[in-house]
Structure formats: C-alpha cells, structure tokens
Structure 1
Amino acid sequence: MEISQTLLDESKHKEAILPSSSPSSGSGSIMEFTAQEGKQGEPHEALFLVLAYLPLFELLSMNKVCMSLRDAVKNDVLPWLNIVVQRPLNYRLTDEILMEITAKANGKLTTLALINCVKITDDALQRIVERNPLIDKVCMHLYIPACTGLTPEGVIRAVKTLSKNGHKLKNLWINGIYNIKREHFETLCSYLQLNLAQQEQQQPKPLLFNNYQKFPALGDSKNQPVIDMGVCPRCKEVSMVFDCPRKKTCKLKIERLLTDCRGCKLCIPRCQECGRCVVSDEVEEAVCADILCSDCWLQLPKCNLCNKPYCKQHANEKFCSSGSAGFVCDACQAKFLGKMCYYHIED
C-alpha cells in the first residue's frame, strides 16, 4: 500500500516504532499471538475487531503483517472515519498522502485531527471538507493546531463549508496557526454560533495552562470548548485564554483585587506544572526556562550541579550518569564537556 510505504519508511529515520506496534512489546509480537491463538499463518479474529481503534501509525503498520490484515485495512471504512495524525507521522504528511488517507472514509469522515502537520495547505483542507458531504447527521471535529501551512482565510473557508446545509462543527482547535486576527476569530464564531450557545449552557471544564499542549481526548469532546482560541480580557488580542485552577484562593487575584484571573500567557504568568497564576515573588525558573511556582519547584528533582529542576514535559532531557544518584541537566553537561575539552587541549 503506497500510503504505509511512504509514511512508515520515512518515519523510520525520524523516530522508532511505537511500543504498541513493536514486535518486542508486551508479552509477544502480533505474529506470536497469531501462532498461539489461531491457525498457523492466519491472524486471530480478535485482531480484525481492534483495527478501528488503532492509531494511524499502527493502522498503517498492519499492511505489512499479512495479506488478510492488509485487505481488512484496505477495504473496511470504519478504521478511517476518525483520522488523527501526530508524531511520528506529522512532519512527513503531505497533501497528496492526506487526500489518499481521507478518501478511504468514502465521504463519512467525522474527525480530522492534524497535530502540527506543517506541510498541509489550505487547498488540501478545503478539498477534504468538500468531499465529505455525508456528515449532516454527525458532529464533525476539526483539530488543526500548529498546522503552520494553513492560513486564517483557508480555515474560515473550510469552516464555512462545514457549516452549510445543517452540518454541525462540534470542535475547532486552531492554536498555532499564524496571523489569526480578531476579525478572523469573530467570523469563525459566527459559523459556530449555535455550538457556542450550547457550550455556555453545558459549562465545559476550564482550559488550564499546564494542559494546553495535551491533545484533547476525542471521546471527551463534550467537555472541551468549541473553539480553543479566545479574546484575552486584558490585552484584547486573539490567543488561548487560560483559567486559573485556584480561582478562590489565587494569590494574584487577592493581591491585585481582581474580579477574574483569566488571560493569555503573556498577560498572566502561569506555572507549567499546576497551571496557577504566579506572582513576581513566587517565580522560579526551570532548566528548560519554563516558569514554575515555588510549591512545584520544591517538589521536582534538581540538577546535581545547578540545583534547577526540569518541568515534567522536558524531564526526558536529563543526563543520568551510571552509578550516581540524581541527574545532571543538559546545560551543565555541555559546560562540563566543554571544560574537559579545554583542559585536554591545554595538557
């Protein structure tokens, strides 16, 4: 299959295969499971039932297992109704491959999630929404954060198409698309007017700063905002507007006598770990330059040399030497290696 061959081969050099699709993951490989539970050379029937729940990377990997699974993936519409493209495929995805993938839904696509797919253009997005006319009885979910190849005008055109003839756009996530102005935001809201009114009645859970980089669970879309952007009540710019998880006890709100502490990340500094507002005397810096509150800073492990922690998001950048407790951050490790090289040259 051309799609799997192109994406999987190119992704092999960028990132290792995910554990769920790795032959050594879990208690055994797919082929070992097949040999134990089914006839030799034929997949177990249970494998065909889980195809619709596999992420795109693993779904494409099924094409290389055997002919039965390849035919099942190729001919079944159900696994292709919810397309979610993220790492390690996002940087490799092109307009042509995306068109081929979404065409397998036969016009019944209900979820399109392109997470940081920088090569996707307005033309591809428009063609996809135009070729899925059978969603008038289904709520469409459109997640395109950080797709920098898209423009505000292209997003508006796609949303306008999806809003015609009784179609319902349930969720729209566009954070990271460049040059979204207030007039663009107001136009998008005009097409989402019905859903915005419903959202006010349902009272979705607050958008917290420490969770904004996590992709929302598709099954939990009822509790997600209709659109992830908003107009900051302080600077009046279009951005992501975050809520404070400690509205009643927020120190910033109490000290400045504020009625509300909602705002974008430029107007209100927030802790990367807990998401709460951070006043100037509480700001602590992590190795990764993220802002931390004093409470979270004290709880996180520190570098043995500079006594700074990593936030959990960047904890994988630690350098742990064998046989020693704790860790050394990448900045101190670079300095240490630089000094070693200097002394070696001097000697």
Structure 2
Amino acid sequence: MSEVCRSLRDAINKDILPWMQLVVDRPLNFRVTDDILMRTASKAKGRLQVLALINCVRITDDGLLRVVAQNSCISKLHVPSCTSLSPEGIITAVKFLRQTNANLNSLRINGIYGIEKQELKTLQELINPNLKSKPNQSRIFYHSKFPTLLHQETYHSIDVDVCPRCDEVRMVFDCPRLVCGKKCRGCDVCIPRCKECGVCFNGICEVEEAACVDSLCLDCWLKLPKCSFCNKPYCTEHAGLQQRLAGSEGFVCDSCHTNFIL
C-alpha cells in the first residue's frame, strides 16, 4: 500500500467495503502474524463478513480470537491448514460467533491437527443446531477439494467429517463413478483417487503417474498435455510448475528441466 499513489491509498483505507472479505493465501500466508492480521482486519471496522486464512501457519488461537471478538458478523470462517490453531481455539471462536449472531454458516478446518470426533460433533451442533431435521447433504468429490472460497455454493457447512473406514476426522469424499455408490466413500488416505477427476482406484481403471508425483486415471492422463522429455503430465492444480521452452509450444516438467536443461 505504501507504493501506490496517495489518492488510491486514502480511498482504500477509508472505504470498508474492500476489507469486509479478508482472504489470505499464497504467497502472503507465511508472512501474516497475529498482529498483522489484527491490523488488517481492523480496516473493516467490525463489519468483517468473510475471514479466510489459507495455510497461515503463524496465526494462533489468540490472534484468531482477537479478530473474532471485534467482528461478530463473520459468516464464513475458513482456516484450513493453519497449523498453529487448536481445536479448542476454533470451538471458542465458533461459540462466540454463534452467541453474537446466527450468520456463521461455513467453517473450513481441514488440516487442523488433533480434531477429535467429540470436538467435531460440538462444532457441527454449533453450526447446524437443527442438523437432524435437515435433509441429506450433497456428495462431495475429491476434485472439488480446492473450491473457490467465496463463490462456490456448497451444502456442507463444515469441510471435515468422520471417515467411515479409519474413523478419523478428515475430509471425506464420494466417488463420482456411479457404479461405486457409497462403497468408495472415505478420506484420501483410505481411498486413493485420481488427482484430476476424483475417481477411486479400485482395479477398474489403470493408474498413471503425473510429473508432480500425483496419481491419475488413464482417461485424465491422456487428456492432459505432457512434458516434452518424460511424457508425463501435470495435474491441473500443479500446472503452474510447467517450464516453458523458448520457441516451442510445449513444456518440460521441473524434474526434466533440472536434469537435462540447466
């Protein structure tokens, strides 16, 4: 902000609208501390509606609670992979938000260490007090693991569940292959899946390796562009790792670029 013109800086600082949805993701996520978060959130003047901290490993329970205490209108609280947060801190934050307003309807906590089944049940009851009276939720697929935070509608108010196979609290996925039904429902530790489309590897489809070392089904492997050296594709999530060649429309993977070009 210090490098933009004064008129633009003043306009943004005085207008709370741009600050009502605070999303911190790469590459700033590793730099944000409790104090920086507090100063940034204060620009919303207590009217923050969305707080999305993606893999912000330096944010602690104290920092989160300080922001929540001054912004009771938060309706979306997304803190996936914020590994310095504890289940107890998240429960405290959610309790405060539910006591001060009934708008909190979306909680993302995948990657928070040590969440037990009882703690998940507490969060589910806080977010959905009438959960038993609601219809069955929609299925969630592995290839929807990284949805656009603010624009994708979802019926899942909490992103984690109890895996029916390992009984651990993790993200639980359904298989998009209709013939599987609920047989292949489980976390990605219990049920290996295609990184691209999310189908399970149950012996029906061939498993292919991507340049990013993820696994792909044969159908997805055939559709994706390949490295000019090793003939391996990147999945869509890691396509940014492609190394473009001068004077060529193709690319090489990071490994081949290191081994054969540098």
Q: Cα offset for 1:325?
A: 5.9
Does the C-alpha gap of structure 1 residues 220 and 204 become closer, same or farther in structure 2, counting only changes over 3 Å?
farther
- For 2:152 and 2:211, how far apart are their aligned partners in 1? 33
Q: Cα offset for 1:314?
A: 1.7
The answer on whether the counterparts of 2:209 and 2:216 sit within 8 Å (CA) in structure 1 is yes
Give the alignment partner of residue 184 of structure 1, picking from 119, 138, 141. 119
Question: Which residue is 1:93 aligned to?
Answer: 32
Question: Which residue is 1:232 aligned to?
Answer: 163
Give the alignment partner of residue 173 of structure 2, picking from 221, 224, 242. 242
- For 1:317 and 1:140, how far apart are their aligned partners in 2? 34
Kindly provide the CA deviation profile for residues 62-105 of structure 1, in whole angstroms up to 9, marking residues without a partner as x.
xx2233x3332222222222211222322221111111121222
Task: Give the SS at the match of 1:163.
Answer: helix
Unaligned 5+ runs, structure 2: none
- For 2:140 and 2:88, how far apart are their aligned partners in 1? 26
Q: Which has the larger displacement, 76-85 or 230-239? A: 76-85
Matches within 5 A, 1:32-43: none
Give 1:123's aligned amino acid: D
Q: Which has the larger displacement, 91-100 or 297-306? A: 297-306
The answer on whether the counterparts of 2:175 and 2:182 sit within 8 Å (CA) in structure 1 is no
Matches within 5 A, 1:242-261: 242-246=173-177, 248-249=178-179, 253=180, 259-261=182-184
Give 1:193's aligned amino acid: N
- Alignment partner of 1:270 is 2:205: no
- For 1:306 and 1:275, how far apart are their aligned partners in 2? 24
Identity %: 49
Q: Cα offset for 1:239?
A: 0.3
The structure with more helix, counted as a fraction of residues: 1
Question: Which residue is 2:80 aligned to?
Answer: 145
The answer on whether the counterparts of 1:170 and 1:195 sit within 8 Å (CA) in structure 2 is no
Give 2:218's aligned amino acid: S
The size of the alignment, in residue pairs, is 261
Matches within 5 A, 1:96-175: 96-133=35-72, 135=73, 140-175=75-110
Q: Cα offset for 1:154?
A: 1.0
Does the C-alpha gap of structure 1 residues 307 and 185 become closer, same or farther in structure 2, counting only changes over 3 Å?
same
Q: Cα offset for 1:191?
A: 1.4
Kindly provide the CA deviation profile for residues 159-185 of structure 1, in whole angstroms up to 9, marking residues without a partner as x.
111121453321000111122222221
Task: Give the SS at the match of 1:112.
Answer: strand
Does the C-alpha gap of structure 1 residues 101 and 330 become closer, same or farther in structure 2, counting only changes over 3 Å?
closer
The answer on whether the counterparts of 1:140 and 1:168 sit within 8 Å (CA) in structure 2 is yes
- Alignment partner of 1:296 is 2:220: yes
Give the alignment partner of residue 11 of structure 2, picking from 69, 72, 81. 72
The answer on whether the counterparts of 1:271 and 1:277 sit within 8 Å (CA) in structure 2 is yes
- For 1:259 and 1:100, how far apart are their aligned partners in 2? 46
RMSD of aligned residue pairs (Cα, Å): 2.4
- For 1:314 and 1:190, how far apart are their aligned partners in 2? 36
Q: Cα offset for 1:197?
A: 5.0
The answer on whether the counterparts of 1:147 and 1:177 sit within 8 Å (CA) in structure 2 is yes
Q: Cα offset for 1:231?
A: 0.5
Greater radius of gyration (CA): 1
Q: Cα offset for 1:319?
A: 3.0
Q: Cα offset for 1:305?
A: 3.1
Unaligned 5+ runs, structure 1: 6-60, 339-347
TM-score, normalised relative to structure 2: 0.88
Task: Give the SS at the match of 2:75.
Answer: strand
Question: Which residue is 1:206 aligned to?
Answer: 139
Give 1:207's aligned amino acid: I
TM-score, normalised relative to structure 1: 0.68
